[in-house]
Structures are given as C-alpha cells and as structure tokens.
Amino acid sequence: MTTPITVQYTINAPADKVWKALTDKNEMKSWYFDIQDFVLKTGEEFNFYEPGGAGKYHHHGKIVEIIPGERLKHTWSYPDFSELKTIVTWELLPVNGSTLVKLTHDDIENFKDLGEGFSRENFTKGWNTILGQSLKEYLEK
C-alpha cells in the first residue's frame, strides 16, 4: 500500500454551502465537471469526460459512502484504460465559519502503468488546482 495523495484547503464558506457545491450536479459543472448522471446516493454510478478534448479520458465513479455534510467517498477509474479503480474521499470540517476541505486519493499506484497523464504528480497538481483554485474561487466569489 502506498501513501495516498492528500490535498486540503480552507474555504471561506460554511460547510453546508461547500457540501452543496460538492454534491449538486448543477453546481459541480460551475467549478468541477459536468456530471449529468450524478445522483447523491450510495451505490449510484456516474460518468464524465474532461472538457476540451474529443471525448478523452472517460471517468467513471461509484459512490461508496455518504455522511451528509461531512464525507463523500467514491471510486475513480478510467474504464477505457484499465479495470483497476482508486478511491477519492472528500471530507469537510467546519472551522470558525469557514470549511477545511480535505481530499484523499487512495490506491493511485493502480494507475502507475497507464502513462504520465496518470502519474501521482499529475493527480496532485490536478487536485490542487481543483480545490485550491476552482472550488475556492467558486465559493468565495
């Protein structure tokens, strides 16, 4: 087992507002991805593609745990490249009117043979951009 990728940022917004941004598909498309088949229910599966490409990098996920307002855990995989999956966990902790958002990406070594686009460094950079820029700017505007 390898060390997971962990990224965390304090967002100047209450936890309920952050939770809605993480779990409402209409809000997600404003800062994250357009996940049209996302339903906040354990066992539900969802699919999306990164914007800008001609259908490159099909992402697939399955929700495995929900603690409303606190934690969302789902699988993260690329079915066009590998049958292996990783786990992404979003955790929220209220801190004096703001929210500490912690993202943990486990089992990232499952993608080690898929090329540079799937490297630990690439995922770390991507998650830092998503949390530290996209989500933060969306909620603090």
| pLDDT tens digits along 112-134 | 999 888 999 999 999 999 999 99
pTM of the model: 0.94
Q: For residues 107-119, b (16+ Cβ closer than 10 Å) or e, as one string?
A: bbebbeeeeeebe
Domain that holds residue 57: 5-140
pLDDT digits (tens, 9 = 90+) for 34-83: 999 999 999 999 999 876 655 578 999 999 999 999 999 999 999 999 99
Residue with tokens 């992404």: 88
Q: Which residues contact 25 (CB under 8 A, 6 or more apart)?
A: 34, 35, 36, 38
Asked if 136 and 9 count as a contact pair (C-beta separation under 8 A), the reply is yes
The count of residues in the chain is: 141
Instruction: Give me the number of domains the chain comprises.
Output: 1
Residue 114: CATH number of its domain:
3.30.530.20
